[in-house]
Amino acid sequence: MEKRRSPKLKIAIIHPDLGIGGAERLIVDAAVELSLHGHNVHLFTAHHDKNRCFEETVAGPFPVTVYGGFLPRHIFYRFHAVSVVIPLLKMKRSAKIIFYCHFPDLLLAQHTTMLRRIYRRPIDMIEEATTGMADMLLVNSRFTASTFARTFRHLHSKGFEPAVLYPAVNVEQFNGPCTYRLNFLSVNRFERKKNLQLAISAFALLRSLKGDTLPGHELVEATLTIVGGYDKRLKENVEYLEELKRLAESEGVSDRVDFVTSCSTAERNKLLSECICVLYTPKDEHFGIVPLEAMAARKPVVACNSGGPVETIKHEVTGFLCDPNPLDFATSMAKLISNPEMAETMGKEAYHHVSENFSTKTFGEQLNHYVVDVHHRRIE
C-alpha cells in the first residue's frame, strides 16, 4: 500500500505564560520541531516577558502573538483550569485539538479548606469535561498518565487514555568541555514544592561525615550552588529564597552555598559542565526536565525515587534514586566524591541514555506522528 505523504499543516500552539520552566521549554521545543517538519507554526500566549524567556521565543522560526495580558493568571491563587479553552477552539469544526497535560489542575489546586472544596468542585468537573473534548490527550510521563486515570475516573471508565510523550533536551548544547569540580548543583525554580531545603540539609550532613573528610578528599572544599528561576514580583520566590538562606546559615554552610537567581542558559550550561553531579529534590515531580539536562551534560543525578525521575534516571547507572531525606542524598553524594571514576562513568552512561531516548529529534518525530495522526483522524 502506498505510504500517505505527510501533510504540511497550520498549527497554533497555545500556552498561558511563556516564562522559564520545564513546561515552557517543552512548548518551545514543540514549536521548533514542528517547524522543522515543515509545518506553519504560530505560538499564542497571554504573557511573554522578553527579558525572562527562552531565546527561541524572541528569535525563533515561528511568530509569537501575545493577547490577554490583562487577564489574571489565576483568581485567589487557585481558581484556574487550563483546559477550558478547548470548547472555544472546538467552535472551529475543522480544527483538531491535541491537549498536552503536564498535570491535572484538579490536583495542582489545593483543597485544604471547606470553602476551597466547595468552589473547586464545579471547576474540577469543568476541567474533566473540557479535557475530554480534545481529539487527543498527551501526557509527559507514565506517572502523569496514572495520575490522570485516578483523577479523571469518568473519562478513564469511558476508555479515554492519554498517550505518553516525554519532553526532550537539546543534547547538542552540551558539547563543550566537561570537568568534575567538587561542586554540587541544584537547578530549580525558587518554589517550596521544589524541596530545595533537602539539598542544603544533605550538603550540610555530607560535610559532617567522617570528620569533614572522605578518603582522599577534603570536604571543606566542597560547595553547593543553587540555581533557580526567580521573579521578584512573585511573593513565594522572594520568601522562599530568604528561607533557604536562613537554613544555610543555621546549618553552618552559608559560606559554601551560592544562590544564583535567573541565570542565562549559557551560564546554567557552564555550571552543569563543571559540577560533580546534580541534586534534584522535588518529590512526585510530574516529569522533571533538569535530570535530562544534567545527563546530557554528562553528569550523574541524585534525585527522589518518585514521579518522573523514576522513568528517566537509571538507578546506579546514570545516577541515584533516593528516599527524600538528607541521609540518603548525602550517602549518594559521598559515593561520587570518594570514587571520581564512578561519577565520570555514570556521566558517560547518562549522555548515551539521553541521546538515545530523550533527544529533541526523537521528541519531534513522535509529536509530528501524533499531529499527522489527528489530522487524518486515525486516533488510536
193 and 65, same domain (yes or no): no
Q: What is the model's pLDDT at position 78?
A: 43
- Are residues 176 and 134 both part of a single domain? no
The torsion angles phi and psi of 58, rounded to 5 degrees, stand at: -100, -40
Same domain, 39 and 146: yes
Q: What is the pLDDT of residues 300-323, one digit of tens each?
A: 999 999 999 999 999 999 999 999
Q: Indicate whether 33 belongs to any domain.
A: yes
Half-sphere exposure of 46 (CA within 13 A, CB side): 12
Strand intervals (E) in the chain? 10-17, 40-47, 64-66, 98-101, 136-139, 163-164, 183-187, 213-214, 217-218, 223-228, 257-261, 277-280, 301-304, 319-322
CA dist 333 and 327 (Å) reads: 10
Is residue 156 located within the same domain as residue 289? no
Query: Distance (Å, rounded) from C-alpha 320 to C-alpha 102?
Result: 24
Measure the CA–CA gap between 258 and 54, rounded to whole angstroms: 24
What cell was used for 305? 525515587
Average pLDDT over residues 285-299: 95
Length of the chain in terms of residues written: 380
According to the model, what pLDDT value does residue 110 have?
Answer: 47
Cell 550550561 locates to: 269
Among 83-92, 163-172, 193-202, the range of highest mean pLDDT? 193-202
Under DSSP, the state recorded for 68 is -
- Rounded CA separation 70/288 (Å): 30
**Does residue 4 fall inside a structural domain?**
no
CATH number at residue 34: 3.40.50.2000
User: Dihedrals φ, ψ of 313, to 5°?
Assistant: -105, 130
- Same domain for 278 and 313? yes
pTM given for the model: 0.82
Per-residue pLDDT at 92: 75
Going by the DSSP 8-state scheme, the letter that residue 194 receives in this structure is G
Examine the domain organization and report whether 74 and 55 are in the same domain. Answer: yes
Same domain, 155 and 206: no
Residues 154 and 27 in one domain: yes
What residues pair up with 227 in beta bridges, in sequence order?
A: 187, 260
Pairing of strands 213-214, 217-218: antiparallel
Per-residue pLDDT tens for 80-106? 456 656 666 666 778 898 988 876 544
Cα–Cα distance between 253 and 314 in angstroms, integer? 31
Domain of residue 208 covers 171-357
Domain membership flag for residue 289? yes
